[in-house]
C-alpha cells in the first residue's frame, strides 16, 4: 500500500504542511478492518527486508515527550526454535510476570472474554468439558501457533501505567504495519508469563520487563482456529460524545 508514496522523513519541515495523497484514508480503513488475531501460521519466514521495513514503520508511533519507551526482541529461525522449546517446557508452571496482571474481568468485560473463548473453541471443536482439548489449546500459545517469528515487547521496569499506554500505541502501529504488508499476527498476553525464559534466551537486559508477545508470519488458511471471528459493541457502548 505504501510502496509508491514518498513519505516525508521525521523532522522534515515539509511534513508540517504535507497532505495525505488521495485514497490513503480508505486504504488505512481497509487495513484496520483486515487486522485480526491469527492462531495458525505457515512455516514460511517473512523476508528480512520486509521485517525491517515493518518494524521501521512502527517506529513512527507517538509517545509522551517522544521517549520511545518500547524495547522489542524479535526471534526468528533457530532463535525462535529455542524460545519455543523453552516456553513449551515451562508452560503450565506458575508464572512470574514482570508486571502485575491487573484486575480480573467482570460484568460486560467478562462477557466479552467468554464470548471470545466460545467462538474459538467452537471452531476447534472443543466442548466445555473437554479437559484434554482445552489443554491442547492452551499449549498452542507456547508453541507460538507455529509462527516462524515472535516479538517480545517490553519497557523499563521503573515505568508505570502512563508509559504502558505508549507501548500499547506502538503495538497497535506494529500490527497495522504487519497487516499492510500481508503479514498476520497475534498479540499474546500469555507470552509475558515467563520473562526469565525470554531474558535468558534472547539476552534481554534485567532492567527491561516483558509486557506482551506477538507471533507473526503468513496465515495458514487450513487452520480451524483462523475461522474464528469476534464482534464489536456499538459505538455508544464505548464512546460518549458531548456537544
Q: What's the CATH number where 204 sits? A: 3.40.109.10
DSSP 160: -
Specify if 204 maps to a domain: yes
Separation of alpha carbons 206 and 27, rounded Å = 41
Residue 52 phi, psi dihedral angles, 5° rounding: -65, -35
- Each of the 243 residues of the chain gets a pLDDT tens digit; together they read 444 455 556 556 555 566 777 888 889 999 999 999 999 999 999 999 999 999 999 999 999 999 999 999 999 999 999 999 999 999 999 999 999 877 789 999 999 999 999 999 999 999 989 999 999 999 999 999 999 999 999 999 999 999 999 999 999 999 999 999 999 999 999 999 999 999 999 999 999 999 999 999 999 999 999 999 999 999 999 999 999
Could you tell me where the DSSP H helices lie in 44-183?
48-58, 77-90, 107-124, 131-142, 161-180
Specify if 45 maps to a domain: yes
* Res 106: pLDDT: 93
Residue 186 phi, psi dihedral angles, 5° rounding: -150, 110
Range of the domain at 116: 41-229
Quick: pLDDT tens for 162-208. 999 999 999 999 999 999 999 999 999 999 999 999 999 999 999 99
* Res 12: pLDDT: 63
What nine digits make up the cell of 106? Answer: 467482570
Q: For the CA atoms of 30, 189, 124, 81, what is the dihedral angle to 10 degrees?
A: 100
Specify if 132 maps to a domain: yes
Cα separations (Å) of 32 from 65, 90, 104? Answer: 26, 35, 28
Specify if 168 maps to a domain: yes
* Res 6: pLDDT: 55
Specify if 119 maps to a domain: yes
Separation of alpha carbons 92 and 43, rounded Å = 25
Specify if 34 maps to a domain: no
* Res 14: pLDDT: 57
CB 175 within 8 A of CB 215: no
* Res 138: pLDDT: 95
* Res 206: pLDDT: 97
CB 152 within 8 A of CB 200: no
Cα separations (Å) of 19 from 6, 16, 25, 94, 141? Answer: 11, 9, 12, 51, 42
CB 167 within 8 A of CB 153: yes
What nine digits make up the cell of 116? Answer: 471470545
Specify if 217 maps to a domain: yes
Number of domains in the chain: 1
Specify if 78 maps to a domain: yes
Cα separations (Å) of 112 from 35, 41, 92, 115, 119? Answer: 18, 25, 24, 5, 11
Residue 150 phi, psi dihedral angles, 5° rounding: -145, 140
Amino acid at each position: 500500500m505504501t510502496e509508491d508514496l514518498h513519505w516525508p522523513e521525521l523532522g522534515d519541515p515539509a511534513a508540517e504542511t504535507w497532505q495525505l495523497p488521495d485514497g490513503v484514508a480508505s486504504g488505512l480503513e481497509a487495513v484496520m478492518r483486515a487486522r485480526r488475531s491469527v492462531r495458525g501460521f505457515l512455516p514460511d519466514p517473512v523476508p528480512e527486508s520486509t521485517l525491517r521495513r515493518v518494524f521501521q514503520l512502527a517506529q513512527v508511533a507517538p509517545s509522551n515527550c517522544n521517549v520511545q519507551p518500547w524495547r522489542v526482541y524479535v526471534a526468528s529461525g533457530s532463535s525462535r526454535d529455542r524460545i519455543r522449546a523453552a516456553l513449551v517446557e515451562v508452560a503450565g508452571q506458575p508464572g512470574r510476570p514482570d508486571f502485575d496482571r491487573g484486575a480480573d474481568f467482570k460484568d460486560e468485560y467478562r462477557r466479552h472474554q467468554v464470548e471470545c473463548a466460545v467462538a474459538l473453541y467452537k471452531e476447534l471443536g472443543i466442548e466445555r468439558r473437554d479437559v484434554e482439548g482445552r489443554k491442547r489449546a492452551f499449549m498452542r500459545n507456547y508453541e507460538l501457533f507455529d509462527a516462524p517469528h515472535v516479538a517480545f515487547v517490553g519497557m523499563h521496569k521503573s515505568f508505570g501505567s502512563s508509559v504502558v499506554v505508549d507501548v500499547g500505541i506502538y503495538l497497535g502501529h506494529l500490527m497495522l504495519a504487519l497487516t499492510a504488508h500481508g503479514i498476520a499476527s497475534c498479540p499474546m498476553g500469555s507470552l509475558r508469563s515467563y520473562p526469565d525464559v525470554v531474558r535468558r534466551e534472547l539476552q534481554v537486559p534485567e532492567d527491561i520487563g516483558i509486557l506482551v508477545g506477538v507471533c507473526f508470519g503468513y496465515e495458514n488458511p487450513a487452520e480451524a482456529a483462523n475461522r474464528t471471528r469476534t464482534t464489536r459493541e456499538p459505538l455508544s457502548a464505548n464512546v460518549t460524545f458531548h456537544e
